[in-house]
Amino acid sequence: MQAAKLRRYLRDVVLPYSPQYREMFRSHGLTADDFSSIDDLRKLPFTSKSDLLPTTEKPARFKDFIIAPEPSELARRPGTICRALLHGRAQVQKELGDEFRPRLILFTTGRAAEPLAFCLTQHDINNLAEAGRRVMDVCGARPEFRMINAFPFAPHLAFWLTHYAGTEFGVLVTSTGGGKVMGTEGNLRLVRKLIPDVIIGVPTFVYHLLHQAADEGLRCENLKKIVLGGEKVSDGLRHKLRDLAREVGASDVDVLSTYGFTEAKMAFAECPYPHDQSPSGYHLYPDMAIVEIVDPKSGEPLPSGSPGEIVFTPLDARGSAVLRYRTGDCTDGGLTYKPCPHCGRSVPRITGKISRVSEIREMNLDKLKGTLVDFNQLEHILDDAPHVGAWQLELRKLNNDPHEVDEIILHVQKSDGTDDDELSHGLRDRMFNHTEIHPNRVEFHNIEEMRRLQGVGVVMKEQKVVDHRPKNGEASGASPAKSNSSANGSNGQHKFVTSA
């Protein structure tokens, strides 16, 4: 089914109307008929984010990836002529406009690269709504549910997919814009009024929202689902969110993660699962897209169950479309085609933890050589740590000298009254046992200071890892004695423990 749909998509949509792929297929001597099976996808070169980034010669390079037929081309198609005879010219013009004319522009949200524009036609918006409906269905929503969309108001996938998911599935949905528009108190007022069954948003903001709700004694007994997107979700964070949900009166809450990216124009969800077991992975839509797992170094496709990089190919996209798109996301569980052990669905699933290749950075932790530090792993280690509510890793240079060694400062907001010294030593040991590195010091903050550090309600994605290292030849704007919290507006009333 997928191979036949891929051939039709290539033959009828991509090759006639995509400048980028028409030239790629020509230069590699390929046609749509060369793809008789999914294995034939390996014949097609990958597309990556660097292929879409502007250059001096092509500042609007992303436009090459837009499927943009000339009206005269569409008018000459036999199918267009037949439909015009049957339904009238005006109706066919409207249908072609819905299929091919951009109606919405979304932007990528990655921290490491310039945001890229992705165009959606009405055809894409319909697919976006259907993908959103499937997210709701997989998560176990019911039409009578009330849902708060706490993603920031922005031209980004998470907000718009959630909006259309709610309207397409049929729940009552309202959007708060996260903390940036209404603030935490505004969100809590809406929680009190709506009494939602579902809260969906960025994990860090949802954590702070529920923490504040618990501190204020707010009751939300109706809450049944916490759905998260935009950041990794560790087991430790799930436990903390369930604990906070219990504090506001919700005793049996599913904490579910979604995985999506702008280039796909869709997202995938976990299904509910027993809390003493592990999630079964992200349920895919084989009629809408092909997902491959490839070796991150060689690019070779890998068999079911193998860890590797996620590669995405749409089967029905219009507007901006990318084929064999290397996401830069790696899963340690690979793909599985077995029925889901929790919901019984037979669609493919991405299993295991997903991490970003770009979050493996070189750190000069001593005078001799660089050390590769996997911040994906550090995030899980810290999210799972007991007694830690929220945290941030700050990277600095010793004395703010670009030529000096790197320092790692761990900022922590405690979830309970654990002794500072005891927790500091425990966190240093935990990091060293898993990664063989430890922070140069641990600084403790109250929840308001941590919100300022992470940019909760201010930035698009809350900052859990910040890099304040000056570059060579670049003067640092911060005094060596100043902490990260001072630079972010903290009142300085925090404690810190320096590493031994």
Q: What is the mean pLDDT of residues 343-359?
A: 89
Helix ranges, 232-301 (H): 235-247
**Residue 3, both tokens:** 């191979």
- 105 falls within a domain: no
pLDDT above 60 for 236? yes
What is the average pLDDT score of the chain? 88
Cα(463)–Cα(355) distance, integer angstroms: 16
Provide the whole-model pTM.
0.84
Select from 318, 352, 386 the last residue of a domain: 352
pLDDT tier at 118, thresholds 50, 70, 90: very high
Of 9-18, 339-348, 430-439, 473-482, give the lowest mean pLDDT range. Answer: 473-482
State which amino acid sits at residue 189: R
The per-residue pLDDT for 456 is: 82
Give me the count of residues in the chain. Answer: 500
Pair (286, 412) in one structural domain: no
pLDDT above 90 for 379? no
Q: What is the mean pLDDT of residues 314-339?
A: 96
- 313 falls within a domain: yes
Pair (440, 372) in one structural domain: yes
Pair (364, 403) in one structural domain: yes
The per-residue pLDDT for 100 is: 95
Cα(479)–Cα(325) distance, integer angstroms: 43
Question: What is the full DSSP assignment across 4-57?
Answer: HHHHHHIIIIIHHH-HHHHHHHHHTT--GGG-SSGGGGGGSPPB-HHHHS--SS
- 245 falls within a domain: yes
Contacts of 133 (CB under 8 A, 6+ apart): 165, 168, 169
Could you tell me the sign of the dihedral formed by the alpha carbons of 124, 130, 133, 135, in that order? negative
Look up residue 483 and give its DSSP letter.
Answer: -
The per-residue pLDDT for 480 is: 36
pLDDT above 50 for 483? no
Pair (338, 368) in one structural domain: no
- 32 falls within a domain: no
The per-residue pLDDT for 306 is: 97
418, 424, 425, 431 alpha-carbon torsion, rounded to 10°: 120
Per DSSP bridges, beta strands 495-498 and 406-414 are: unpaired
Three-class SS of residue 52? helix
Cβ atoms 4, 286 nearer than 8 A: no
Q: H/E element holding 294?
A: strand 289-294
- 43 falls within a domain: no
- Residue 262 main-chain phi, psi, to 5 deg: -55, -40
Which one is predicted more confidently, 462 or 221? 221
The per-residue pLDDT for 86 is: 84
- Residue 386 main-chain phi, psi, to 5 deg: -70, 155
Look up residue 271 and give its DSSP letter.
Answer: P
Domain at 151, CATH number: 3.40.50.12780
Range of the domain at 312: 117-352
- State how many domains the chain has: 2
Cα(327)–Cα(458) distance, integer angstroms: 26
Pair (335, 375) in one structural domain: no
Of 9-13, 276-280, 473-477, give the lowest mean pLDDT range. Answer: 473-477
- 37 falls within a domain: no
Cα(373)–Cα(370) distance, integer angstroms: 9
Look up residue 65 and give its DSSP letter.
Answer: G
pLDDT tens by residue, 20-63: 999 999 999 999 999 999 999 999 999 999 999 888 888 889 99
pLDDT above 60 for 360? no
State which amino acid sits at residue 334: G
Cα(310)–Cα(350) distance, integer angstroms: 9
Pair (306, 419) in one structural domain: no
Pair (302, 364) in one structural domain: no
- 455 falls within a domain: yes
* Among 266, 195, 258, 262, residue whose Cα is nearest residue 224: 195
Pair (309, 367) in one structural domain: no
State which amino acid sits at residue 381: I
Cβ atoms 5, 313 nearer than 8 A: no
Q: What is the mean pLDDT of residues 291-307?
A: 96
Select from 352, 382, 399 the last residue of a domain: 352
Select from 352, 384, 409 the last residue of a domain: 352
Pair (382, 314) in one structural domain: no
Look up residue 9 and give its DSSP letter.
Answer: H
The per-residue pLDDT for 364 is: 56
Pair (405, 340) in one structural domain: no
pLDDT tier at 497, thresholds 50, 70, 90: very low
Cα(247)–Cα(241) distance, integer angstroms: 10
Q: What is the mean pLDDT of residues 215-233?
A: 94
Task: Return the top range by mean pLDDT from 65-79, 129-143, 346-360.
Answer: 129-143
**Residue 473, both tokens:** 């030849």
Q: H/E element holding 268?
A: strand 266-269
Cα(394)–Cα(466) distance, integer angstroms: 5
The CA distances from residue 151 to 105, 199, 339, in Å, are 17, 10, 31
Domain at 448, CATH number: 3.30.300.30
- 319 falls within a domain: yes
pLDDT above 60 for 393? yes
Pair (301, 152) in one structural domain: yes
Pair (262, 294) in one structural domain: yes
Of 56-60, 123-127, 281-285, 345-349, give the lowest mean pLDDT range. Answer: 56-60
pLDDT tier at 399, thresholds 50, 70, 90: confident
